[in-house]
């Protein structure tokens, strides 16, 4: 069985340095593309989880800015913590199970949720 094609974002960090928080995939999932889903971030989340969210948002901003980007090899689990809030679909219809799906940063919401990422005057 052939794996679905998956764009690899060269230069994007693979994980949060010094942790097991994954940001990208090395290869397509042979069982199928993992669906993006909005995950609730509760106020009592661990500080390490919050740091991983902020670092991932910073990497997205540094790599893509306000431009739409293809989901590609970005980790679905990590994206799902931001999906539907700071990261939104950039196309309609949007396929939550496609490596080719286009996303974009909702800059206003991202700035409100992660002010430290954007404090340099973005």
Q: What is the pLDDT of residues 80-115, one digit of tens each?
A: 999 999 999 999 999 999 999 999 999 999 999 999
Beta partners for residue 87, in sequence order: 83, 105
Beta partners for residue 102, in sequence order: 70
Omega cis (within 30) before 102: no
Q: What is the pLDDT of residue 27?
A: 87
Give the 3-state secondary structure of 43-108: CCCCHHHHHHHHHHHHHHHHHHCCCCEECCCECHHHHHCCECCCEEECCCCCCCCCCCCEEEECHH
Q: What is the pLDDT of residue 122?
A: 45
Phi, psi values for residue 103, rounded to 5°: -125, 165
Q: What is the pLDDT of residue 1?
A: 57
């Amino acid at each position: 069985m052939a794996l679905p094609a998956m764009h690899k974002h060269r230069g994007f960090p693979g994980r949060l340095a010094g942790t097991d928080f994954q940001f990208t995939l090395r290869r397509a999932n042979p069982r199928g593309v993992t669906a993006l889903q909005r995950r609730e971030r509760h106020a009592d989340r661990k500080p390490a989880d919050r740091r991983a969210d902020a670092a991932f948002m910073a990497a997205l901003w540094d790599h893509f800015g306000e431009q739409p980007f293809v989901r590609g090899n970005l980790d679905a689990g990590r994206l799902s913590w931001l999906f539907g809030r700071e990261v939104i679909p950039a196309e309609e219809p949007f396929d939550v199970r496609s490596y080719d799906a286009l996303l974009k940063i909702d800059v206003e919401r991202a700035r409100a949720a992660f002010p430290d990422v954007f404090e340099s005057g973005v």
